[in-house]
A and B are shown apart, each in its own frame.
Chain A
Amino acid sequence: MRLPKTSSLGIRLPFLRAPALPGLGPGPMTRLLGVALTAAFWALTLAAFAIALAFLFTIFLPLGPLGLTVTAGDEGTSVPVPRAYILFALGAIVAYLGGFAFILRNLRAMVHTLRIGDPFHPDNVRRLKQIGLTLAVVTGGAWIGQTLVSRLVRGALEPPSLFDLVTPAFSVLVVFVLAQVFREGARLRRESELTI
């Protein structure tokens, strides 16, 4: 619907002027992100490495089934956990931490391109796709793991519901959409480079 044109009253309200754009480009938030990502990456990497060592030790050490006690409320359910399950659990934790460390590694690389003023580098498209895939695998794997554990200690732990996958699924979708946006950005960057 077109609104009728009105004549200007000739009044200018200076405080309604469009504000000057703040300094564009990498700023303190980018640096903070870089530091936070680096700290998180190394923390996860070291944790994954430590658990991987524990996994290797468990392979070679003669361990019998561990009797783990899972407590729900006042009662506790004692569940014998065979060595294979322990190995599987350790492996799953290494994969979980390693997956997030991989995501953080890609995010660090992307923040680096942001700091050098080249965020639409073509490599960032690949990195975002890798982040999306890794997120899907890690969160899906964690959900499956929780389902298996809840079946192992049936009655003591609630199995996860499908609704628990909604937020991770949306996150994965957002990442893949961003990958397409960055793909278009990389194309525009290329066009800009070849504009003399």
Chain B
Amino acid sequence: MAIRVQLDRILLERRMSLTELADRVGVTLANLSILKTGKARAIRFTTLDALCRELDCQPGDLLVWTPGPQDLGSDEDPDGNDPGSK
């Protein structure tokens, strides 16, 4: 996935822990971890809205697009396997 979520950097800048952010945003810690580690496949606007509100940032600060050779036009195979996990 070419989209990177820069939650680590912003949490460090705001001196906030992932647990505290999860409580404020209303998302479970497990789901926020999925987002932080780049395993999420999609994010709801409501979640993005809550994150930007609590972290006082813009969506562009959180989400960055960095294309790589394997990410251009790639998609998971029909068996639901993530090519990045192979």
- Does A194 sit within 8 A of B, measured CB to CB? yes
Extra 7 A-B pairs, beta carbons < 8 Å, given A195-B44, A196-B43: A122-B80, A183-B78, A187-B80, A191-B41, A194-B42, A196-B31, A196-B35
Residues of A within 8 A of B27 (CB): 196
Residues of B within 8 A of A195 (CB): 40-44
Residues of B within 8 A of A31 (CB): none
- Asked if residues A194 and B41 are in contact (CB atoms below 8 Å), the reply is yes
Query: Which residues of chain A from 144 to 196 have a CB within 8 Å of any chain B CB?
Result: 183, 186-187, 190-191, 194-196
Residues of B within 8 A of A122 (CB): 80
Query: Which residues of chain B from 39 to 79 have a CB within 8 Å of any chain A CB?
Result: 39-44, 47, 76, 78-79
Interface residues of A, dominant DSSP: helix
Q: In chain B, what residue has the closest Cβ to A180?
A: B78
Smallest distance from the beta carbon of A179 to chain B beta carbons, Å?
13
| C-alpha spacing A191/B35, complex, angstroms | 13
Interface residues of B, dominant DSSP: loop
- Asked if residues A194 and B40 are in contact (CB atoms below 8 Å), the reply is yes
Q: Nearest 3 pairs between A and B by C-beta?
A: A194-B41, A195-B42, A187-B80
| C-alpha spacing A122/B47, complex, angstroms | 27
| C-alpha spacing A195/B42, complex, angstroms | 4
- Count A-B contacts at CB 8 Å: 32
- Does B34 sit within 8 A of A, measured CB to CB? yes
Residues of A within 8 A of B32 (CB): 196
Residue among A183, A186, A187, A191 making CB contact with B42, cutoff 8 Å: A191
Residues of A within 8 A of B40 (CB): 194-196
| C-alpha spacing A46/B41, complex, angstroms | 47
- Asked if residues A194 and B80 are in contact (CB atoms below 8 Å), the reply is no
| C-alpha spacing A183/B42, complex, angstroms | 20
| C-alpha spacing A161/B80, complex, angstroms | 42
Smallest distance from the beta carbon of A196 to chain B beta carbons, Å?
5
Q: In chain A, what residue has the closest Cβ to B43?
A: A196
Residues of B within 8 A of A190 (CB): 41, 80
| C-alpha spacing A183/B80, complex, angstroms | 9
Q: In chain B, what residue has the closest Cβ to A189?
A: B80
Residue among B34, B47, B78, B79 making CB contact with A194, cutoff 8 Å: B34
| C-alpha spacing A99/B72, complex, angstroms | 47
Query: Which residues of chain A from 83 to 141 have a CB within 8 Å of any chain B CB?
Result: 122
